[in-house]
Amino acid sequence: MAKKGRRKHIPQRTCVVCRRTFPKRELNRIVRGPEGDVHVDPTGKAPGRGAYLCNDLACWEKAATGSFLDRALKTSLTPAQRAALQAELERRKALLAQTSDNG
């Protein structure tokens, strides 16, 4: 018999690209720091304005090339910041390729 457990509150956030909602810890936080630097924030605690991306690589691709993050972070991403996102995308692609080798 399925027992209804007590509902825990899990904070939900929306991916700025696909607009799907996920538990916050499953998303990747991109932050625009006080100095205007835009970077991936693995801790989720960096100061500044945050935007969230899901783990779908298509979303990373669009975030790096499109204006989703510009809108979400109310800034204009520099070519260097876009390049950093592309680099992170490539790193994730490589990681996925590695894990699928083992399966």
Q: Which residues bind Zn ion (CB under 5 A)?
A: 15, 17-18, 54, 56, 59
Q: What is the DSSP string of 19-57?
A: --EEEGGGSEEEEE-TTS-EEEETTS--SSEEEEE-S-H
| Count of C-beta atoms within a 10 Å radius of residue 81 | 21
Nearer to Zn ion, 55 or 78 (CB): 55
Please, which residue, 18 or 84, has the CB nearer to Zn ion? Answer: 18
Contacts of 36 (CB under 8 A, 6+ apart): 75
The position carrying tokens 């605690």 is 45
CB of 24 to Zn ion, least distance (A): 14
**Spatial distance between the Cα atoms of 46 and 48, rounded to a whole number of angstroms:** 6
State in angstroms the smallest separation of the CB of 1 from Zn ion: 36
Considering beta carbons, is residue 30 or 54 the nearer one to Zn ion? 54
* Smaller CB separation from Zn ion, 30 or 59: 59
- Smallest distance from Zn ion to CB 54, Å: 3
Residue 39 C-beta: closest distance to Zn ion, Å: 19
